[in-house]
């Protein structure tokens, strides 16, 4: 029994009103990703939320600076590990900007297919995990099964589902099989069918809608000032999509829509992602229909490995392979920043070269980091239960956020 209350006699209003401190995470059953949110609660209302990141920090930049340019690719897989292809492509494009290279058409189309299949997997992971954490376990299983189909497309391209390591400076690790387009179309049909079931299960559900609608909102100018990009920003009505605003690869030749929301609440973020999955599938279908023939690699033995068939029989290619492996390709001195539209927002790579085979600086501008920063502003003043859908819709990916 509280002494203060007894002393105050009948004045029951004189209750202690200190904020309750609640530590959500770093490993909490209702969140995914390793992050700690320190909450100060007044009843169920959040007075202050402080987000602590860094549990997955692995020294990405330090590791990259001590290796050669091509050795960075496996590390980029592990930034956003639910859409690794987009990281591969983003880093390769940054390197190609630094080296001033242009890859063959077929390579560019295949990179778009890889990126968009990755985006489908990324969004399905986000949406599925969100439904799981709001109590809809069945819906989660549909999303994960659909994601498995998207991963099958990546599997057919590179032989791996998650740690792809597929893209190279000036090309791809290998070309696809002739049966690939048919398989990809088949898998996309699976994704579409499962996605419809998934949406039908959730979107009519009043519990789900009530937890998503009107929660986690922040006005667009504030999101911009905080550096938020990706589906979260687009849900607030800002059509900031690098595939449209600064097209790379062959995006300027594809027909697709950039879905935007209105209110910018969690429901809008959810719906923007479901629509982006459909748009990604549309892009992949266009790429499959127009996939040109020809090589996937540039023809420069000092940058891209010439292939064993040539190396075993010819001297120049053997020298080329030896130099690429031991010294690495050498870009001119300079610095570049190149950004692609990642699953969670603008994924940029900033490279500084001094003319040797190792980068002086290899920086990943990770969208999750900036987006997670906005979480405290989104939940302050709202209810404790709103943290879960808001955190889910920010889609913080630990590997990318903590690098």
56 and 34 in contact (C-beta within 8 Å)? Answer: yes
Tokens 């020298």, residue located: 319
Looking at the Cβ atoms of 33 and 128, the one nearer to another protein is 33
Distance of CA 375 to the CA centre of its chain: 17
Based on the shown chain and the rule CB under 8 A, indicate whether residue 71 belongs to the binding site for another protein: no
Residues 232, 137: Cα–Cα separation, whole Å? 24
Q: How far is the CB of 131 from another protein (least distance, A)?
A: 29
Q: Which ranges in 256-307 belong to alpha helices (H)?
A: 266-290
Interface segment toward another protein; rule CB under 8 A; list 8-16, 96-104, 116-124, 288-296: 96-104
Q: What does DSSP say about strands 361-365 and 346-353: parallel, antiparallel, or unpaired?
A: antiparallel
CB closer to another protein, 62 vs 196 = 62
For residue 391, give every residue at least 6 positions away whose Cβ sits within 8 Å of its Cβ, in sequence order, or none: 31, 35, 37, 375
The answer to whether 317 contacts another protein (rule: CB under 8 A) is no
CB closer to another protein out of 43 and 355? 355
Closer to another protein at the Cβ: 154 or 364? 364
Instruction: Pick between residue 47 and residue 57 the one whose CB is nearest to another protein.
Output: 57
Among 77, 297, 346, 400, binds another protein (CB under 8 A): 346
Applying CB under 8 A, among 285, 373, 384, 385 the residue interacting with another protein is 373
Residue 47 binding another protein, by CB under 8 A: no
Interaction between residue 380 and another protein (CB under 8 A): no
Contact 330, 356 (CB under 8 A): yes
Establish if 370 lies at the interface with another protein (CB under 8 A). Answer: yes
54 is an interface residue for another protein by CB under 8 A: yes
Phi first, then psi, for residue 262 (nearest 5°) are -120, -65
Which of 137, 312, 322, 337 is in the footprint of another protein by CB under 8 A?
Answer: 337
Examine residue 66 and tell whether it contacts another protein (CB under 8 A): yes
Kindly write down the DSSP assignment for every residue of 156-171, as one continuous string: HHHS-SS----EETTE
Nearer to another protein, 258 or 291 (CB): 258
Q: Is 329 in the site for another protein (CB under 8 A)?
A: no
Q: C-beta of 357: minimal distance to another protein in Å?
A: 15
Considering the rule CB under 8 A, would residue 145 count as an interface residue with another protein?
Answer: no
Q: What's the token pair of residue 142? A: 């549909």
Residues 6+ apart with CB under 8 A from 183: 152, 153, 156
In whole angstroms, how far apart are CA 389 and each of 34, 53, 159, 267, 327? 16, 18, 34, 9, 48
Window 150-209: residues binding another protein (CB under 8 A)? none
| Nearest distance, CB of residue 360 and another protein, angstroms | 7
Query: Can you tell me the distance from the alpha carbon of 281 to that of 260, in angstroms, rounded to the nearest whole number?
Result: 18
Q: Please pick, from the candidates 210, 257, 316, 335, the single residue that binds another protein as defined by CB under 8 A.
A: 335
Assess 62 for contact with another protein (CB under 8 A): yes
- Count the Cβ atoms, other than its own, within 10 Å of residue 294: 9
Q: Helical H runs in 104-205?
A: 105-133, 137-158, 180-203
Residue list 256-275, contact with another protein (CB under 8 A): none
Residues in the chain: 403
Binding site for another protein (CB under 8 A): 53-54, 57, 59, 61-63, 65-66, 97-98, 100, 221-222, 224-229, 233, 238, 240, 245-246, 333-337, 339, 346, 348, 350, 352-354, 360-361, 363, 365, 369-370, 373, 402-403
């Amino acid at each position: 029994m509280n002494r203060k209350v007894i002393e105050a006699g009948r004045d029951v209003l004189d209750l202690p009103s200190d904020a309750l401190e609640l530590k959500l995470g770093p490993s909490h059953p209702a969140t995914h990703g390793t992050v700690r949110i320190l909450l100060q609660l007044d009843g169920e209302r959040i007075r202050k939320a402080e987000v602590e990141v860094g549990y997955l920090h692995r020294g990405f930049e330090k590791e990259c600076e001590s290796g050669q340019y091509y050795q960075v690719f496996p590390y980029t897989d592990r930034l956003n590990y639910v859409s690794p292809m987009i990281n591969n492509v983003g880093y390769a494009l940054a390197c190609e900007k630094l080296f001033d290279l242009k890859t063959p058409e077929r390579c560019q189309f295949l990179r778009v297919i890889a990126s968009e299949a990755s985006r489908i997997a990324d969004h399905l992971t986000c949406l599925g995990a969100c439904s799981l954490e709001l109590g809809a376990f069945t819906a989660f299983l549909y999303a994960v099964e659909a994601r498995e189909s998207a991963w099958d497309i990546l599997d057919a391209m590179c032989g791996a589902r998650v740690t792809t390591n597929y893209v190279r400076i000036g090309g791809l690790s290998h070309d696809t099989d002739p049966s690939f387009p048919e398989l990809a179309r088949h898998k996309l049909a699976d994704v579409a069918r499962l996605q419809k079931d998934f949406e039908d299960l959730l979107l009519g559900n009043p519990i789900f809608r009530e937890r998503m609608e009107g929660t986690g909102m922040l006005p667009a100018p504030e999101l911009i000032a905080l550096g938020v990009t990706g589906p979260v920003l687009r849900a607030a009505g800002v059509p900031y999509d690098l595939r449209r605003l600064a097209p790379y690869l062959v995006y300027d030749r594809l027909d697709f829509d950039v879905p935007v929301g209105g209110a910018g609440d969690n429901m809008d973020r959810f719906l923007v992602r479901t629509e982006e999955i459909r748009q990604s599938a549309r892009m992949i279908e266009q790429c499959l229909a127009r996939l040109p023939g020809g090589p996937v690699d540039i023809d420069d033995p000092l940058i891209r490995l010439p292939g064993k068939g040539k190396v075993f029989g010819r001297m120049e290619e053997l020298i080329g392979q030896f130099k690429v492996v031991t010294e690495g390709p050498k870009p001119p001195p300079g610095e570049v920043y190149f950004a692609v539209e990642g699953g969670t927002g603008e994924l940029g790579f900033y490279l500084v070269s001094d003319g040797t085979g190792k980068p002086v600086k290899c920086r990943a501008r990770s969208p999750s980091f900036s987006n997670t920063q906005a979480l405290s502003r989104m939940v302050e003043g709202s209810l404790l239960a709103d943290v879960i859908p808001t955190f889910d819709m920010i889609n913080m990916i630990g590997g990318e956020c903590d690098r």
